[in-house]
């Protein structure tokens, strides 16, 4: 799907020298990560999901995948990440993603399900970026 590929192109252009990038809440749509793996072959790409079956499927695809709950995150998974990103996260998780990125000093990219994401806290401090027909939000917090 074009949306996921455009997102991968954007991430690879903005984070071409990233050492570590983490996708949170991958689910059964690893399309962005599949493209990023090719575009940023030297970057440590980690995929996180709360569903153990999803994590196993991602591992079978050759990804470094980890089971975690961002509501009570294991910080060692995210430590030293240049970017955390999440595609269509549930609104109630967005404040948790902001907290996590703030805590570890990583940029945060949210590709919301709809443009009313500002209701969940996206907007304050975020840069709104249009990628084709899609709007994403980038919060710059990286401390390196």
Q: Could you tell me the pLDDT band of residue 27, with boundaries at 50, 70 and 90?
A: very high
DSSP single-letter state for residue 114:
S
Q: pLDDT digit string (tens) for 108-130?
A: 999 987 665 555 556 678 888 88
Angstrom distance (rounded) from CA 29 to CA 17: 25
Contact 48, 77 (CB under 8 A): yes
Cα distance between residue 85 and residue 22, in whole Å? 6
pLDDT at 43: 98
Instruction: Quickly tell me which residue has 């994401």 as its tokens.
Output: 117
pLDDT tens digits, 56-90: 999 999 999 999 999 999 999 999 999 999 999 98
pLDDT (mean) for 42-49? 98
Mean pLDDT for all residues in the chain:
92
pLDDT at 116: 59
Give me the domains of the chain, ranges plus CATH numbers.
Answer: 2-9+23-120+130-139 (3.40.50.150)
The DSSP result for 51-85, as a single string, is -HHHHHHHHHTT-EEEE--TTS--HHHHTT-SEEE
Of 9, 50, 53, 5, nearest to 30 by C-alpha is 5
Contact between 7 and 38 (Cβ < 8 Å): no
86 token code pair:
């999440």
140/12 Cα distance (integer angstroms): 16
pLDDT class for 3, splitting at 50, 70, 90?
Answer: confident
- Beta strand pairing status for 83-87 and 64-67? unpaired
Pairing mode of beta strands 83-87, 107-111: parallel
The residue-averaged pLDDT of 135-143 equals 86
């Amino acid at each position: 799907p074009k949306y996921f590929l455009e997102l991968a192109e954007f991430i690879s252009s903005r984070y071409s020298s990233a050492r570590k990038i983490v996708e949170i809440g991958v689910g059964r749509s690893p399309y962005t990560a599949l493209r990023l793996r090719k575009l940023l072959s030297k970057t440590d790409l980690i995929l996180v999901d709360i569903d153990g079956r999803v994590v196993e499927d991602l591992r079978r695809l050759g990804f470094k995948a980890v089971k975690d709950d961002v509501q009570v995150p294991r910080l060692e998974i995210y430590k030293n990440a240049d970017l955390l990103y999440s595609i269509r996260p549930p609104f109630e998780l967005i404040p948790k993603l902001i907290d996590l990125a703030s805590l570890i000093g990583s940029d945060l990219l949210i590709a919301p399900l709809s443009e009313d994401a500002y209701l969940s806290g996206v907007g304050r401090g975020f840069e709104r970026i249009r990628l084709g027909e899609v709007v994403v939000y980038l919060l710059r917090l990286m401390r390196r």
